[in-house]
Amino acid sequence: MDKDYFADGLSAFAANVRAGRVSFEAATRATLYRITELDPHLGAFECVDEARAINTAKAFDQQLASGVDLGPLMGVSVVVKDIIAVDGMPTTLGSNYSAKHLKLSEGRLIKKLRDAGCIILGKTKTVEFALGATGINESRGTPWNPWDAKEHRIPGGSSSGSAVAVAAGLCGFALGSDTGGSIRMPACYTGQTGHKTTIGLWPTDGVFPLSATFDSVGPICRSVADASVIHQCITDQEPLSPIPLEGLRLGLPRQIFCDDLDPAVEEYFDKALAALKTAGVQIKEFDLPEAAERESLFPAIVGAEIIAAITPAGFKQAYDKMDSVTRTRAKAGLDVKAVDYVQAQKRVHELQAIALAKFKDLDAWVSPTSLMQPVTVREIEQDEAIAKRALLSSRNTMPTNIFGHCAISLPIPVPESSLPVGLQVMMPGGQDTRLLAICHAVQSCLGAHAIPDMEQFIEQKAVV
């Protein structure tokens, strides 16, 4: 299996290329070869555009040799969640139903990545219509979480394929979208870093609008350092230096966010908090009962908006071909009354004011990203209790979208025998650069998370 040239981060890759230790073409070919070797087992990709990727890499090598340097993302291999349109590639929305009538075309975000010199390798699988937190897709397949070669564990959703591709070293970074946790959940379950940007900060034209109210786009990558490089290239916002942890004030909404945690999640979350306290961080617990309103607000708003996006006629045509869980959740949108939708929107604005007031004397909030570690697909299929619990995967992430916050899920270092656990850091909308600076310091304090052993997939394939 070829080397993962992005394992040490985007800045290290950029330095290696400019020092002549690797070319864009060599790195791209190695990454494509890893996809050939690993994706038949992982199932992260909907399509791979190999020829165009190699030709683009060759062109960038020639440009760099002639003195044209496009910046830190030049020659970086990127994969794109398959609800985001890319010229020359199909957009399935994770569905067997053709959504050509939506007429999605490549938007400003992809154009920004191209201008920055990114090489788009292909499209990654998603939960159907991006509506689901577990990553399961009965229609087009569920990607395999790289942390377990023997058991098919959920990768988290809905940006499932994007997270699997990053974790397996099949790209430099991936694009996902986040309506209720769809970047943070798969980042959590695959041990990666996921940045849910402030709504409206990154352009979303060319992206399937699951919810115009809550949608945002962002990266799934290996570290906060990588996320900062990407964010600067997209927004032109200068990154801040890592913020000292001494005296930092982090709020913990323990009620709801820390209820009914898996024992391992509770253990490693508490250890992470202990490490931060040792570094001088102040942890202040506070009540946030309004987080429970996600249960009523999401069905009223997202349910109505996904039907509006697909159109009622389109949804009826797609119904019989859809994933059963997605179908049931989306169908509820047909019954949302206009008055309920308007009242829900009004309540969102009220909650955003309430949540912002809770930041008084606090720099950020923290919580476990999820109440659980990734369970197996088999357990969800065979055990009703586990299936119901898995649907709570986004319990801790949804409130952030309602409150209009930006947030990042960081992997908490755990023993090699453990599955990934995520730490969620949240801040008011518009403070993404400060959030990245805080998370950079937090990640440095906690230490690097292990990476999955991808050789186990090759060995298993050889045995079979």
Please identify every residue annotated as catalytic.
81, 158, 182
| 3-state secondary structure (DSSP) of residue 285 | strand
- Residue 45: phi, psi to the nearest 5? -105, 145
Rounded to 5°, the CA angle 190-202-334 comes to 80
d(CA 319, CA 308): 15
Strands (E), 353-401: 364-368
* CA distance linking residue 135 with residue 184, whole number of Å: 12
Q: Which one-letter amino acid corresponds to residue 375? A: V
What backbone phi and psi angles, to 5 degrees, belong to 167?
-60, -35
For the beta carbon of residue 75, count every other beta carbon within 10 angstroms: 26
Cβ neighbours of residue 342 under 8 Å, at least 6 residues apart? none
Q: Which two tokens stand for residue 227?
A: 């996320």
User: How many secondary structure helices (H) and strands (E) does the chain include?
Assistant: 18, 11
Using alpha carbons, select from 268, 263, 305 the residue that is nearest to residue 420. Answer: 268
H-run or E-run covering 461: helix 455-463
Name residue, tokens 């997270």.
163
CA–CA gap between residue 35 and residue 50 (Å, rounded):
10
